[in-house]
């Protein structure tokens, strides 16, 4: 057992989740210092262990899926058959000592295994249960299985993503899963805080549907308030202009003018008429977006990405390049934020992983609780140690 450091040090999480939404929530807890014991089925473990290629060959000749590596750092692995009496007895022992239980089975599965909320409350009255589902635990379609691709479509995200209304696209990462994990971890931390006052645990529920609807933001109120049905508009903002991707010599860059002052600066730098017909206000520029795009791309036509970005920086206009992922992870700014961590894997050796997005500091500016990250575990890697820990109780 590695002693964890961080705001959640001393919190123990039993993680029954698999795939991505639940494992991401549990990894967030682990990044914050919680001890996370990942319970996996003995035959193959979490299905993401088989999601590939790419696989990376280990020293034992067994390939490790990079998908699994992405969402399971800082955890311990125990293999348990939860349908057996032995597995259920050990899970009961774990829950009696845990603070949090996380699961993302289809609704009703945990009940059928013999662990409905009322039983969990008897085992441990202070236990916080996080349940993540595809479309919610109740309602007319509450029992549906949920996968990210399906949820992105059903929750409307694909309808506003793509080059246009007839080119619908999913987001390039499983954003519904990731958001459900983030909302789930957020809910668990809130429940743990309330437990300090009441001494009681509670059930926290979220879903892929809820997580995507929860980030509709202004696209949601375009319909609920204004009665407009948003559609995909490619790489340009539906309510702000100029705000999007613009071509230049040999490439493209992104520009964001979120207010009139920035528009004025942009026009001054590139000798454009800020009051030209159809472009004198944001509302006009949104209405005449194609004119704005052509005007800026004409101004950028003779410039490389680097040259255009230098001039925009001089003018104080927010802008940036479009990086590939290899460029992102080699970027000094990414490294400076702790967004790449190096861990020692039992069979892969030294492995670089995307790092946690949160950092903590004291009032003097000193960074708090930096802790050593551990690699995503091999299946049942910590089974003997966890069993020994339970026997010590």
Query: Does residue 2 surpass a pLDDT of 60?
Result: no
* Domain assignment of residue 80, given as a range: 12-215+337-392
Out of 81, 148, 177, 306, the active site residue is 177
Mark whether 157 and 211 lie in a shared domain.
yes
Mark whether 98 and 167 lie in a shared domain.
yes
Query: Does residue 370 surpass a pLDDT of 70?
Result: no
**pLDDT single digits (tens) 263-307:** 999 999 999 999 999 999 999 999 999 999 999 999 999 999 999
Give one DSSP letter per residue of 206-232, joined into a string.
EEHHHHHHTT-THHHHHHHTT------
Residue 331 lies in a domain: no
Q: What is the Cα–Cα distance from 208 to 206, expressed in whole angstroms? A: 7
Which CATH number covers residue 276? 3.30.1540.10
Residue 89 lies in a domain: yes
Mark whether 41 and 172 lie in a shared domain.
yes
Residue 332 among the catalytic residues:
no
pLDDT band at 327 (very low <50, low <70, confident <90, very high): very high
Mark whether 109 and 211 lie in a shared domain.
yes
Residue 238 lies in a domain: no
93 burial type by CB count under 10 A (0-12 exposed, 13-18 middle, 19+ buried): middle
By residue count, the chain amounts to: 393
Q: With beta carbons less than 8 A apart as the criterion, state whether 187 and 206 touch.
A: yes
Mark whether 175 and 278 lie in a shared domain.
no
**pLDDT single digits (tens) 153-190:** 999 999 999 999 999 999 999 999 999 999 999 999 99
Q: What is the pTM of this model?
A: 0.93
Query: Does residue 249 surpass a pLDDT of 80?
Result: yes
Mark whether 173 and 250 lie in a shared domain.
no
What's residue 3's pLDDT?
A: 64
Mark whether 28 and 164 lie in a shared domain.
yes
Mark whether 114 and 262 lie in a shared domain.
no
What's residue 62's pLDDT?
A: 87
Residue 232 lies in a domain: no
User: First vs last Cα of the chain: how many Å apart?
Assistant: 15
What's residue 145's pLDDT?
A: 86
Q: Which two three-digit tokens encode residue 322?
A: 């479009």
Query: Does residue 230 surpass a pLDDT of 60?
Result: yes
Q: What is the Cα–Cα distance from 253 to 306, expressed in whole angstroms? A: 9
Mark whether 128 and 49 lie in a shared domain.
yes
Mark whether 365 and 297 lie in a shared domain.
no
Please count the helices (runs of H) and the strands (runs of E) in the chain. 16, 13
* Mean predicted confidence (pLDDT) in 60-82: 95
Instruction: Tell me the H-state helices in 17-101.
Output: 21-31, 66-69, 85-97
Residue 43 lies in a domain: yes
Between 58-62, 94-98, 368-372, the lowest mean confidence (pLDDT) is in 368-372
Mark whether 307 and 375 lie in a shared domain.
no
Tell me the residue ranges of DSSP E strands in the chain.
12-15, 35-40, 55-57, 63-65, 75-79, 100-103, 128-133, 203-207, 243-248, 251-256, 319-320, 340-345, 349-354
Residue 230 lies in a domain: no
**pLDDT single digits (tens) 97-135:** 999 999 999 999 999 999 999 999 999 999 999 999 999
Q: What is the Cα–Cα distance from 104 to 132, expressed in whole angstroms? A: 5
Total domains present in the chain:
2
Q: Which two three-digit tokens encode residue 176?
A: 């519904």
Residue 332 lies in a domain: no
Residue 4 lies in a domain: no
Which CATH number covers residue 199? 3.40.50.10540
Q: With beta carbons less than 8 A apart as the criterion, state whether 93 and 393 touch.
A: yes
Mark whether 57 and 133 lie in a shared domain.
yes
What's residue 311's pLDDT?
A: 97
Q: What is the Cα–Cα distance from 49 to 232, expressed in whole angstroms? A: 34
Give one DSSP letter per residue of 109-170, joined into a string.
HHHHTT--HHHHHHH-TT-EEEEEESS-SSSTTTT----HHHHHHHTTTGGG-BSSTTSB--
């Amino acid at each position: 057992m590695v002693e964890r450091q961080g705001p959640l040090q001393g919190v123990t999480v039993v993680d029954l989740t698999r795939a991505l939404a639940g494992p991401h929530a549990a990894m967030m807890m682990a990044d914050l210092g919680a001890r996370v014991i990942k319970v996996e089925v003995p035959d193959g473990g979490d299905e993401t262990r088989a999601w590939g290629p790419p696989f990376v060959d280990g020293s034992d000749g067994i390939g490790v899926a990079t998908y699994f590596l992405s969402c399971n750092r800082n955890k311990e692995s125990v293999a348990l058959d939860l349908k057996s009496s032995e597995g259920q007895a050990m899970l009961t022992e774990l829950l009696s000592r845990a603070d949090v239980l996380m699961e993302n089975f289809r609704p009703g599965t945990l009940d059928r295994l013999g662990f409905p909320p009322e039983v969990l409350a008897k085992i441990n009255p202070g236990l916080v249960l996080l349940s993540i589902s595809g479309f919610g635990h109740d309602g007319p379609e509450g029992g549906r299985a949920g996968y990210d691709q399906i949820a992105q479509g059903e929750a409307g995200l694909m309808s506003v993503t793509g080059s246009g209304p007839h080119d619908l696209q999913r987001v390039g990462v499983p954003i519904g899963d990731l958001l459900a994990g983030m909302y789930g971890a957020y809910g668990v931390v809130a429940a743990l805080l309330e437990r300090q006052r009441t001494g009681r645990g509670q059930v926290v529920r979220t879903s892929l549907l809820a997580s995507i609807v929860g980030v509709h933001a202004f696209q949601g109120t375009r319909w609920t308030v204004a009665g407009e049905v948003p559609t995909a508009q490619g790489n340009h903002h539906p309510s702000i202009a100029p705000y999007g991707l613009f071509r230049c010599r040999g490439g493209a860059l992104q520009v964001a003018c979120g207010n009139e002052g920035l528009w004025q600066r942009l026009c001054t730098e590139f000798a454009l008429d800020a009051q030209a017909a159809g472009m004198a206000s944001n509302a006009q520029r949104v209405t005449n977006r194609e004119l704005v795009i052509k005007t800026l791309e004409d101004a950028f036509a003779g410039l490389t990405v680097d040259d255009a970005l230098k001039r925009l920086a001089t003018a104080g206009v927010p802008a940036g390049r479009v990086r590939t992922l290899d460029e992102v992870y080699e970027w000094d700014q990414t490294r400076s934020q702790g967004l790449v961590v190096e861990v020692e894997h039992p069979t892969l050796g030294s492995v670089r992983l995307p790092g946690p997005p949160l950092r903590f500091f004291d009032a003097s500016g000193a960074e708090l609780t930096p802790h050593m990250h551990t690699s995503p575990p091999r299946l049942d890697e910590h089974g003997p140690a966890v069993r020994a820990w339970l026997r010590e109780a």
